[in-house]
A and B are shown apart, each in its own frame.
Chain A
Amino acid sequence: KAGVTQTPRYLIKTRGQQVTLSCSPISGHRSVSWYQQTPGQGLQFLFEYFSETQRNKGNFPGRFSGRQFSNSRSEMNVSTLELGDSALYLCASRAHTNTEAFFGQGTRLTVV
């Protein structure tokens, strides 16, 4: 079974630009969550999608958005990038509530 796949692996963007990250979950997993990981802040929850619906949202500004498609693939978008958005963005998929979350390799975003 293929694991969680995130693309691209690395991105360099300029302040003010926008970016779209992609996550393909494990086949059969309908839940996809996104996390921001920075050295000082650990794993911060962004949002979670289940069957194309956003089920939970973390405490991030409206510049951060996401969506999920009918095949469970998910995208997150960050508009008007700021230097502080530089981070590793991880997505995780789960088969059911309260089961193992499988993480992708992450997308490392650098904003210059």
Chain B
Amino acid sequence: GENVEQHPSTLSVQEGDSAVIKCTYSDSASNYFPWYKQELGKRPQLIIDIRSNVGEKKDQRIAVTLNKTAKHFSLHITETQPEDSAVYFCAASGSNAGNMLTFGGGTRLMVKP
């Protein structure tokens, strides 16, 4: 089955700096890669996703890049703000596994004002 590894597990940055979270996946058939943000005590919510036919996607201060050959994808957050502090999860799924989303272990991002 799919295995997703996520690094780092914790990340501390100063407000205004950039943050990068990296994930690798094992199943070359995976073709959908979402990122979720989970604030303390709340449900995970999708912040951005990318499909395997695209190498990069941006949404304001958030971007995701995908390298299918190397089987890794990354989340980039620029101009970080204190409200970006949360746990971020990457995930992967592919048509071979139906709707099964396999999540990485999560990254706790702390943005210091």
Contacts and interface: CB of A to CB of B under 8 A. Distances in A.
A101 interface: yes
A100 B97 contact: no
* Interface range for A: 20 to 34
Given A42-B89, A42-B103, A90-B43, A101 B98 contact: no
Contact of B99 (A43, A56, A106): A56
Interface string A95-106: 001101111111
Contacts of B68: none
A101 B102 contact: no
A97 B43 contact: no
Interface in A5-25: none
Interface of A: 31, 33, 35, 41-43, 45, 48, 50, 55-56, 90, 92, 94, 97-98, 100-106
B46 A48 contact: no
Nearest to B42: A105
B105 A48 contact: no
Given A48-B98, A48-B100, A100 B106 contact: no
A98 B43 contact: no
B80 interface: no
Contacts of A42: 89, 103-106
Contact of B101 (A50, A101, A104, A106): A101
A103 B102 CA distance: 14
